[in-house]
Structure 1
Amino acid sequence: MRPALSLALIALVAAPLAAQTKHNSNAPIDFGADNIELQDKANRGVLTGNVSVKQAEMTLNAARMTVSYTGQVIGGSPSISRLDASGGVTVRRPDQTARSQFAIYDLNRRVITMLGAVTLTQGGNTVNGGRLTINLDTGRAVIDGSSVRGSSGATGGGTTTAAPGGRVTGTFSVPKRD
């Protein structure tokens, strides 16, 4: 299959799974964790142990998360620009769940990128791949077969690389027909 055609097919297959209303990325972010370390000079906080972050109707859970902020204070709160999560990452939205090894939530771009053993489920439909990108403004999700080797530089050193030749697999439920 030609690369352009396969990318179009991937987008077509993942689109029904991602059909959602627009996410309110301006909603407050509530968090909980077993531990938090604030690194003010580096403009970040590191949350560890049973991390749970909720924004509007979306919840992100992970073992560890680095919260990056700009240093700018708006309305008495620091301006968060990015969340980097690792370790059993789960993102739940209404009627949709995605799981992976790593995730990056870029609040400025309103995009979540999930990496490593990605599974996206909605109802009886499941799509598996190496990388999932969710645009929270449009609700569009694109999944590809890239795989992750190493560790995410944003969450603990090392590098993340994409291995060519990965595949996207899945199962779609079929309604009973008479």
Structure 2
Amino acid sequence: MMKLLQTAMIGTFCLCAAALPSSAQTFSDAFAGFGSNDKAPIEIEAGELQVEDKTNSATFMGDVVVTQGETKLKTDKLRVFYDGSASGSTQQKISKLEATGQVYISSKDQTATGDAASFDMKQEVMVMTGKKVVLSQGPNVVVGNRLTVNLKTGKADLQAPKSGRVKVLIQPNSLKNK
């Protein structure tokens, strides 16, 4: 298993996906997200890691899998941008994450999939895009092509393609007793 080269970088790594707005209560218990448990370790596995001090970034490539607690991110490539130098002994702060190539995020019975996702940690905003962005909880599904989530408030906006509409499928009583 490949862990992040600088363990200091792990301390502030935060990756979240959040609920749909309150008008769609079906998804109100959205992803707990990476960073929700500061004490839980974050594991990153990848075929390759490149650390680029000049650009303050690290790039994981090849079947990247990031896990913290019950939350998992899978993607082809993950680029992590941080403040400061990776070779320094002080703790690094992650400023931005960019996941590309079949992005899959899951937590418990909830998943989100798309072609790319970016996480701006300073603005606390996640944007997932793709030809088809799918957010699901159990048998309930919402489909669009751009999901924007305020990681602080949990407010989400799912947009439809220009030539289409947002689609929602909710199974009656599917979330009862959960």
TM-score of the superposition, structure 2-length normalised? Answer: 0.71
Aligned to 2:169: 171
C-alpha deviation, 1:71, in angstroms: 1.2
> Unpaired runs of 5+ in structure 2?
1-19
Name whichever structure is richer in helix by fraction: 1
Aligned to 1:151: none
Amino acid at match of 1:54: T
Matched position secondary structure for 1:121 = strand
Match status 1:95 vs 2:93: no
User: CA separation in 1, counterparts of 2:63 and 2:153?
Assistant: 29
Matched position secondary structure for 1:41 = helix
Question: In structure 2, which of residues 31, 39, 57 is the aligned counterpart of residue 44 of structure 1?
Answer: 57
Aligned to 2:48: 35
Matched position secondary structure for 2:154 = coil
Amino acid at match of 1:84: E
User: CA separation in 2, counterparts of 1:31 and 1:127?
Assistant: 28
User: CA separation in 1, counterparts of 2:173 and 2:26?
Assistant: 15
Aligned to 2:156: 141
**RMSD of aligned residue pairs (Cα, Å):** 2.8
The farther-off stretch of 48-57 and 36-45 is 48-57
User: CA separation in 1, counterparts of 2:170 and 2:89?
Assistant: 45
Matched position secondary structure for 1:104 = strand
Closer, same or farther in 2 for the Cα pair 1:94/1:112, shift >3 Å?
farther
Q: Is the 8 A contact 1:19 1:140 kept in 2?
A: no
Match status 1:120 vs 2:135: yes
Closer, same or farther in 2 for the Cα pair 1:69/1:32, shift >3 Å?
same
Q: Residue by residue, what CA displacement relative to the aligned partner does 1:41-98 show, whole Å, maximum 9, x if unpaired? A: 1101111001112345432110011111111679833211111011110111233100
Q: Is the 8 A contact 1:22 1:139 kept in 2?
A: no
Question: In structure 1, which of residues 67, 77, 81 is the aligned counterpart of residue 91 of structure 2?
Answer: 77
TM-score of the superposition, structure 1-length normalised? Answer: 0.71
C-alpha deviation, 1:21, in angstroms: 7.5
Name whichever structure is richer in strand by fraction: 1
Matched position secondary structure for 1:77 = coil
Q: Is the 8 A contact 1:15 1:142 kept in 2?
A: no
Question: In structure 2, which of residues 50, 73, 80 is the aligned counterpart of residue 60 of structure 1?
Answer: 73
Matched position secondary structure for 1:138 = coil
Amino acid at match of 1:113: V
Aligned to 1:152: none
Q: Is the 8 A contact 1:25 1:107 kept in 2?
A: no
Q: Is the 8 A contact 2:99 2:118 kept in 1?
A: yes
Closer, same or farther in 2 for the Cα pair 1:86/1:168, shift >3 Å?
same
Aligned to 2:26: 16
User: CA separation in 2, counterparts of 1:49 and 1:109?
Assistant: 28
| Percentage of pairs with the same residue | 34
Structure 2 counterparts to residues 154-169 of structure 1, below 5 A: 164-169=162-167
The alignment of Structure 1 onto Structure 2 pairs a total of residues equal to 150
User: CA separation in 1, counterparts of 2:149 and 2:57?
Assistant: 24
